[in-house]
């Protein structure tokens, strides 16, 4: 009779762990909970199994596929995504528009690049508001830009 009581305890603990997983998803409680529920079910059918050397073997046989299935499930729920924050080094080569005049050796200039404003300085000359610029370098939390010069169409 002790085997059935232990099996029932496994099932109850497993269910409580699944409820805890539902309350705070992502904590990976689902794997041990599933193992306990399956072991409890097996223990109810075969009470002597829980007190034999087969119990740890059965737990491992259940644990490995449940772990792999759970990892795949979590990967499908939250697929890898690029970082949502932008760092200055990722801006090199991008173009933007001057929002506040950009001067050499002066960080008061502002440029808008992909919906974000960045402090900016220029390498050699002052760049007026509204000019298109390209990021040539990043230094900490500001960028160094150069003005994009649009070429006039050539007459043939």
Can you give the pLDDT at residue 1? 60
Domain identity same for 58 and 102: no
127 burial class (0-12, 13-18, 19+ CB within 10 angstroms)?
buried
Domain identity same for 104 and 64: no
Q: Is residue 137 part of a domain?
A: yes
Q: 48, 77, 106: which is the final residue of a domain? A: 77
Q: 31, 47, 77: which is the final residue of a domain? A: 77
Q: Is residue 101 part of a domain?
A: yes
CATH (domain of 95): 2.40.50.140
Can you give the pLDDT at residue 84? 67
Domain identity same for 12 and 32: yes
Domain identity same for 52 and 107: no
Q: Is residue 50 part of a domain?
A: yes
Can you give the pLDDT at residue 155? 61
Q: Give the Cα separation of 126 and 1 in Å (integer).
A: 88
Q: What is the DSSP string of 76-124?
A: HHS-----SS--GGGGTT-EEEEEE-BBBTBTTEEEEETTEEEEEEESS
Answer for the pair 102, 121: CB distance below 8 angstroms, yes or no.
Answer: yes
Helix (H, G, I), strand (E, B) or coil at 131: coil
Domain identity same for 105 and 70: no
User: Which residues span the domain enclosing 19?
Assistant: 2-77
User: What stretches in the chain show pLDDT beneath 50?
Assistant: none
Domain identity same for 49 and 72: yes
Q: Is residue 58 part of a domain?
A: yes
What are 135's two structure tokens? 């990021």
Can you give the pLDDT at residue 27? 66
Domain identity same for 118 and 51: no
Kind and range of the H or E run holding 146 = strand 142-147
Answer for the pair 92, 98: CB distance below 8 angstroms, yes or no.
Answer: no
- The secondary structure of residue 151, as a DSSP letter, is P
Domain identity same for 101 and 67: no
- The secondary structure of residue 138, as a DSSP letter, is E
4 burial class (0-12, 13-18, 19+ CB within 10 angstroms)?
middle
Q: Is residue 20 part of a domain?
A: yes
Can you give the pLDDT at residue 116? 85
Answer for the pair 133, 147: CB distance below 8 angstroms, yes or no.
Answer: yes
34 burial class (0-12, 13-18, 19+ CB within 10 angstroms)?
buried
Number of domains in the chain: 2
Q: Is residue 153 part of a domain?
A: no
């Amino acid at each position: 009779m002790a085997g059935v009581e232990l099996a029932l305890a496994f099932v109850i603990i497993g269910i409580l762990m699944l409820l805890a997983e539902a309350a705070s998803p992502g904590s990976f409680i689902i794997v041990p909970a599933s193992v306990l529920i399956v072991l409890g079910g097996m223990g109810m059918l075969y009470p002597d199994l829980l007190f034999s050397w087969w119990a740890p073997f059965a737990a491992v046989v259940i644990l490995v596929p449940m772990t792999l299935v759970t990892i795949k499930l979590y990967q499908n729920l939250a697929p890898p995504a690029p970082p949502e924050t932008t760092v200055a080094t990722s801006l090199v080569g991008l173009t933007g528009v001057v929002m506040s005049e950009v001067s050499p050796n002066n960080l008061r200039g502002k440029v808008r690049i992909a919906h974000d404003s960045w402090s900016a300085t220029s390498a050699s000359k002052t760049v007026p508001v509204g000019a298109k610029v390209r990021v040539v370098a990043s230094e900490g939390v500001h960028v160094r830009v150069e003005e994009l010069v649009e070429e006039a169409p050539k007459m043939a």
